[in-house]
């Protein structure tokens, strides 16, 4: 009966020490977020406004995209439109080839993960260097991010220390985070200075000014665009917002919700290339978004600003880790975006939810994440991805609960199950016994006890 997610989670839970650390670490981030939220009387008002701005913007996105592109072009940028991942990758490669680029430094971008850009560029002979420390670590390790804001959270300092010994020649046995960060700094500094192009994602695009706004703590987006002569910014359609007044709302919430900081260290506005560089390229990427807006139950997932707070608070994410999900974005928002992407491939994730709704209680833009997961579950049978065992059980249960006679017979006989020897009942054939012991059935069922009391 296990779904793909729970099977994968079993692997994660084998290392209990790490699993406990993971859970506690994310709960600490959630608590930091709470401190930030409680520190502002207007926090809930901001959430309301943020949600309403996003609802408005994504239902008028055609107008705002046009305005954004017009202004960006007026600023001197070259704007490209990519309908899907393949087209996006080709556009990037084309720009790089035109400028004879051999090496590119890039800041973190979930969009480039979504489009699997790095392997595509590497296949075409371009060296791609991730410059966010977490992204760099997993790139050196040959892995994918396990969290959208903290991509290397599944590795501890010994894992990173050993990796750096091998790849960056750090001191043997020195696994102190400050030292390791310094080693990475020196190595990345060299990359920044020698790269031919820099690439950034974009947290926001401002329709009124044509700005691409990038928020980082490390300053790596700014370093990536300060030395190389070429800047390419890649941004999903839904990241465009109307103006600075709206940006103020999101800027205040993004980092408070995501990491519990009052702001990221850098909130950088890129309007055009530096005077000594080639014109800046902006690539607007659809890749499914123009279809998702038409989904009556799930279009609000497009409001997401990728802060990660839903996964930080999720009891299932905290206890199963990012790699237990089949989509590259884990947690509640990843479950929903994965289903929008491909129901056949990602239906296994929808069971990774207790419907506690903590995610939508913290989401700064009020995406109804848990409600949507519930709605996805109702559609699994139509998709042909419902679990056969669960389906059979549901049929059985509706038979039992639909008939008073069968129900009463069942509850009066249930206590006989108590005398079945434990090894027979707590075994692999009984999925309910997986992870916990079976209950003891009472001799007298509850409804009989109540009737006796009423006499």
Partner 1 sequence: MSNKEDILKRYRANVREKYNMPDLSDIAAIRYPDPLVQFIKMTESVGGRVIEIKPGQDFNMLVKELYPDAKEIASNLPEVTIATKNPDTIGQARDLNGTDVGIIRGQFGVAENACVWIPQTMKEKAICFISENLVILLPKSQIVNNMHEAYQRIEFDKEYDGYGTFISGPSKTADIAQVLVMGAQAARSATVLLLPE
Q: Which of residues 182-241 bind partner 1 (CB under 8 A)?
A: 182, 185, 188-189, 192-193, 217-220, 222-223, 226-227, 237
Q: Which stretch binds partner 1 (CB under 8 A): 59-67, 113-121, 307-315, 397-405?
A: 59-67
**Single residue of 10, 55, 167, 415 touching partner 1 by CB under 8 A:** 55
Judged by CB under 8 A, the number of residues near partner 1 is: 95
Residue 153 or 234: the one with the smaller Cβ distance to partner 1 is 153
Output the smallest distance, CB 51 to partner 1, in A.
Answer: 9
Region of 208 please: left (phi>0), alpha (psi -120 to 50) or beta.
alpha
Q: Which of residues 124-183 bind partner 1 (CB under 8 A)?
A: 131-134, 137, 150-153, 155-157, 160, 177-178, 180-182
Q: Does residue 18 bind partner 1 (CB under 8 A)?
A: no
Residue 27 or 323: the one with the smaller Cβ distance to partner 1 is 27
**Single residue of 10, 19, 56, 343 touching partner 1 by CB under 8 A:** 56
Report the distance separating Cα 196 and Cα 236, nearest Å.
Answer: 24
DSSP H or E run through 251:
helix 244-258
Output the smallest distance, CB 136 to partner 1, in A.
Answer: 8
Residue 313 or 349: the one with the smaller Cβ distance to partner 1 is 313
For 49-79, letters b (16+ CB in 10 Å) and e give: bbbebbbebbeebeebbebbbebbeebebeb
Residue 50 or 380: the one with the smaller Cβ distance to partner 1 is 50
Report the distance separating Cα 63 and Cα 80, nearest Å.
Answer: 17
Report the distance separating Cα 219 and Cα 159, nearest Å.
Answer: 24
Report the distance separating Cα 28 and Cα 293, nearest Å.
Answer: 34
Residue 5 or 130: the one with the smaller Cβ distance to partner 1 is 130
Residue 128 or 188: the one with the smaller Cβ distance to partner 1 is 188
3-state secondary structure of 81: strand
Report the distance separating Cα 133 and Cα 155, nearest Å.
Answer: 13
Q: Which of residues 31-50 bind partner 1 (CB under 8 A)?
A: 40-42, 45-46, 48-49
Residue 161 or 445: the one with the smaller Cβ distance to partner 1 is 161
Residue 31 corresponds to which tokens in the numbers above? 């608590």
β-strand partners of 346: none
Q: What are the E-state strand segments in 211-260?
A: 212-216, 231-236, 240-241
Q: Which of residues 274-303 bind partner 1 (CB under 8 A)?
A: 274-276, 280, 284, 286, 289-291, 293-294, 296, 299
Report the distance separating Cα 148 and Cα 203, nearest Å.
Answer: 13
DSSP letter (8 states) at residue 323: G
CA terminus-to-terminus distance, the chain? 43
Q: Which stretch binds partner 1 (CB under 8 A): 267-275, 355-363, 382-390, 409-417?
A: 267-275
Q: Which of 182, 174, 109, 126 is nearest to 329 (CA)?
A: 109
**Single residue of 11, 35, 66, 122 touching partner 1 by CB under 8 A:** 66
Residue 258 or 348: the one with the smaller Cβ distance to partner 1 is 258
**Single residue of 262, 396, 431, 442 touching partner 1 by CB under 8 A:** 262
Tell how many helices (H) and how many strands (E) occur in the chain: 23, 10
Q: Are 236 and 289 in contact (CB under 8 A)?
A: yes
**Single residue of 52, 375, 414, 438 touching partner 1 by CB under 8 A:** 52
Q: Which stretch binds partner 1 (CB under 8 A): 63-71, 335-343, 381-389, 420-428?
A: 63-71
């Amino acid at each position: 009966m296990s779904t793909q997610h729970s099977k994968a989670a079993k692997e994660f839970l084998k290392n209990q020490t790490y699993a406990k650390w993971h859970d506690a670490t994310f709960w600490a981030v959630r608590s930091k977020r709470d401190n930030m939220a409680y520190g502002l009387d207007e926090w809930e008002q901001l959430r309301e406004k943020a949600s309403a701005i996003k609802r408005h913007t994504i239902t008028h996105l055609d107008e705002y995209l046009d305005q954004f592109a017009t202004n960006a072009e007026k600023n001197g940028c070259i704007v490209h439109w990519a309908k899907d991942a393949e087209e996006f990758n080709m556009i990037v490669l084309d720009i790089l080839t035109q400028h004879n680029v051999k090496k590119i430094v890039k800041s973190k971008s979930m969009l480039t993960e979504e489009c699997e850009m790095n392997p595509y560029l590497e296949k075409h002979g371009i060296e791609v260097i991730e410059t966010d420390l977490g992204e760099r670590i997993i790139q050196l390790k040959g892995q994918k991010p396990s969290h959208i804001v903290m991509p290397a959270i599944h590795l501890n300092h010994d894992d990173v220390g050993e990796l750096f010994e091998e790849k960056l020649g750090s001191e043997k046995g020195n696994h102190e985070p400050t030292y390791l960060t310094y080693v990475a700094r020196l190595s990345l500094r060299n990359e920044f200075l020698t790269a031919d192009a820099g690439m950034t994602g974009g947290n926001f695009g401002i329709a009124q000014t044509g700005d691409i706004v990038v928020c980082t703590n490390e300053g790596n987006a700014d370093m990536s665009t300060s030395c190389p002569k070429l800047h390419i910014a890649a941004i999903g359609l839904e990241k465009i917002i109307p103006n600075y007044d709206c940006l103020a709302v999101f800027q205040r919430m993004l980092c408070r919700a995501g990491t519990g900081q009052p702001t990221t260290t850098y909130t950088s506005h890129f309007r055009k290339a530096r005077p000594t560089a080639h014109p800046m390229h902006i690539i607007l990427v659809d890749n499914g978004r123009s279809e998702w807006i038409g989904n009556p139950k799930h279009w609000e997932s497009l409001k997401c600003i990728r802060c990660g707070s839903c996964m930080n608070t999720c009891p299932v994410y905290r206890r199963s880790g990012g790699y237990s999900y089949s989509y590259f974005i884990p947690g509640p928002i990843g479950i929903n975006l994965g289903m929008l992407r491909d129901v056949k491939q990602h239906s296994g994730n929808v069971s990774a939810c207790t419907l506690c709704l903590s995610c939508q209680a913290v989401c700064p833009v009020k995406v109804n994440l848990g409600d949507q997961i519930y709605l996805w579950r109702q559609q699994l049978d139509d998709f042909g991805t419902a679990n056969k065992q669960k389906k059979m059980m549901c049929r059985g249960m509706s038979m039992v609960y639909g008939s008073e006679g069968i129900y009463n017979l069942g509850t009066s006989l249930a206590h006989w199950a108590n005398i079945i020897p434990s090894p027979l009942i707590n075994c692999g054939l009984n999925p309910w016994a997986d992870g916990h012991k079976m209950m003891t059935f009472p001799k007298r069922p509850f409804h009989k006890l109540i009737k006796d009391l009423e006499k």
